[in-house]
Structure 1
Amino acid sequence: MIQPRKWPILTEEEKKDEQKIKVVAARMRDKHPQDIIRWGIEQLGVSSLALACSFGCEDIALLDMALKVNPDLDIFYLDTDLHFKETYEVRDRLSGKYQKQFIRVSPDLTLEEQAVKYGEKLWKKDPNLCCNLRKVEPLKKYLRNYQGWITGIRREQAPTRAHAEVVEWDQGFQLIKLNPLAFWNSKQVWNYIFKNQLPYNPLHDHRYPSIGCEPCTRPVLPGEDPRAGRWSGTDKIECGLHNSPVS
């Protein structure tokens, strides 16, 4: 007897068909995140898929899962040159633990060049432009080399992510996007980190559930939304990397 496939496979034509990808997402949403990563690698090939790592708790869990599936998977991070020192420190600890060199993706402009062109502390005057220059555009250039990317976004994190699927067609970057933790809650993420004794950013223990650039991130007060500490004092809630489909 022919055994049914463990999970769906897309043809080359279907990889860019949003409706087909929605069907796959519906069938994959109950799979373990590690199985979703495995599907992505089997579907696209390890050299055509990359994991975006901000070194926050979700990405640390995903990094561990992904490297257990295939240690050759590319892991990259967007270095805005504005991260907390603790973020760089946990990057180095993880690199040592896994004996893995993470790919640094940097903006075209240094902070000094940006200040000359746009003025000092652009993140205060125009945070959208700053994020675009230091995150979105570098990511867009980097992802041209891939057919898919893996992110740590979860539905629970914010209203803008409430409809994220485990598999999506990323309209902005024109490739397949995997969100293996989309249906996980914060407790599941931390249980995985503690069970596997993974290094994590100590700022998480000091009311920083979501960690971005140092000038734009503050501790979250009791009762606040977990992402309330990002771009506090502005109406900005996303950096522009993730534009999940709306219901």
Structure 2
Amino acid sequence: MPFETPEEKVAALNNRYRHHSATDVMQGALRDAGRIALVSSFGAESVVLLHMAAVVDKSTPVLFIDTEMLFTETLEYQQEVTERLGLRNVRVIRAADIAEKDPYGALRFSDTDACCALRKTIPLQRALDGYDGWITGRKRFQSSTRAALDFFEVEDGTGRIKVNPLAHWAPEDVRAYMDENRLPRHPLVAQGYPSIGCWPCTSKVEEGEDPRSGRWRDSQKDECGIHFVDGKAVRGPL
């Protein structure tokens, strides 16, 4: 049945899939949520959602933001995973105005938020135009602000649906899925990088540290800001 608002649609989807698996949510999102894209960093855990999407439909749009400051290993991993899974619709997104606004790559020294906005959040927001929603890898265990995360939610200000198939997963679920399906690991994980972003702002994590402690180390920043409120990119978790 048609829904008058995105909120009504999200409520119906959450009710329908409340007790279903992540794979069911992925399949339902691609079938019932309109025109959907999977946004992937091809990072440490990205291969799980990419594999789920490939099982359902290898032509699922996958948006990969190349900030032009990614590790060489990430770029090589993106190609490897794309070929291994047979993904047929990976779209590499790059900002068109980096040469104009950050010609020497020095913006990261004076304003990391502005650097993320220029290279990642604004290009992603533009790339999502025309889509009804997007699939994310967010999980409840990642922070207290995500403790009540649903499979489906409405993005403030845009009306797009955000789909979180792994909302209820724990770290061991991610590892088990990768093992069971023999999925390739990002090569930097074995070198001490459990969370991987741009190379200037990512460092190794020591044993016992929080997995994300290597991102923007020694700063108050802990998110690149790819989520939106009132149509604007926001820095912290929703």
TM-score (norm 2): 0.88
**Paired letter, 1:104:** V
Change over 3 Å in CA distance of 1:170–1:87 after alignment to 2: same
The whole-number CA distance in structure 1 between the counterparts of 2:158 and 2:211 is: 27
Point out the more displaced range, 158-167 or 48-57: 158-167
Stretches of structure 1 that go unaligned for 5 or more consecutive residues are 1-9
* 1:50 partner SS: strand
Asked whether the 8 Å contact 2:133–2:161 carries over to 1, the reply is yes
CA displacement at 1:183 relative to structure 2: 1.1
Q: Is 1:99 the counterpart of 2:90 in the alignment?
A: no
2:49 corresponding residue in structure 1 = 62
How many residues were matched structurally?
230
1:5 corresponding residue in structure 2 = none
1:7 corresponding residue in structure 2 = none
The whole-number CA distance in structure 1 between the counterparts of 2:190 and 2:196 is: 12
Would you tell me which structure has more helix in proportion to its own residues? 1
2:232 corresponding residue in structure 1 = none
**Paired letter, 1:195:** E
* 1:202 partner SS: coil
Q: Is 1:81 the counterpart of 2:68 in the alignment?
A: yes
Asked whether the 8 Å contact 1:55–1:200 carries over to 2, the reply is no
Asked whether the 8 Å contact 1:140–1:173 carries over to 2, the reply is no
1:6 corresponding residue in structure 2 = none
Stretches of structure 2 that go unaligned for 5 or more consecutive residues are 229-235
CA displacement at 1:27 relative to structure 2: 5.2
Q: Is 1:11 the counterpart of 2:2 in the alignment?
A: yes
CA displacement at 1:158 relative to structure 2: 3.2
Q: Is 1:180 the counterpart of 2:168 in the alignment?
A: no
2:183 corresponding residue in structure 1 = 198
Asked whether the 8 Å contact 2:54–2:86 carries over to 1, the reply is no
2:24 corresponding residue in structure 1 = 35
Q: Is 1:152 the counterpart of 2:123 in the alignment?
A: no
CA displacement at 1:185 relative to structure 2: 1.0
The whole-number CA distance in structure 2 between the counterparts of 1:161 and 1:205 is: 27
Asked whether the 8 Å contact 2:62–2:91 carries over to 1, the reply is yes
Asked whether the 8 Å contact 1:57–1:190 carries over to 2, the reply is no
The whole-number CA distance in structure 2 between the counterparts of 1:145 and 1:35 is: 24
Asked whether the 8 Å contact 2:44–2:196 carries over to 1, the reply is no
The whole-number CA distance in structure 1 between the counterparts of 2:144 and 2:184 is: 29
CA displacement at 1:161 relative to structure 2: 3.4
| RMSD of aligned residue pairs (Cα, Å) | 2.2
* 2:161 partner SS: strand
Q: Percent identity?
A: 37
Question: Which deviations, in whole Å up to 9, do the C-alpha atoms of 1:48-92 show, x marking residues without a partner?
Answer: 111011112332101101111112211111110111111111111
The whole-number CA distance in structure 2 between the counterparts of 1:57 and 1:233 is: 21
Change over 3 Å in CA distance of 1:184–1:198 after alignment to 2: same
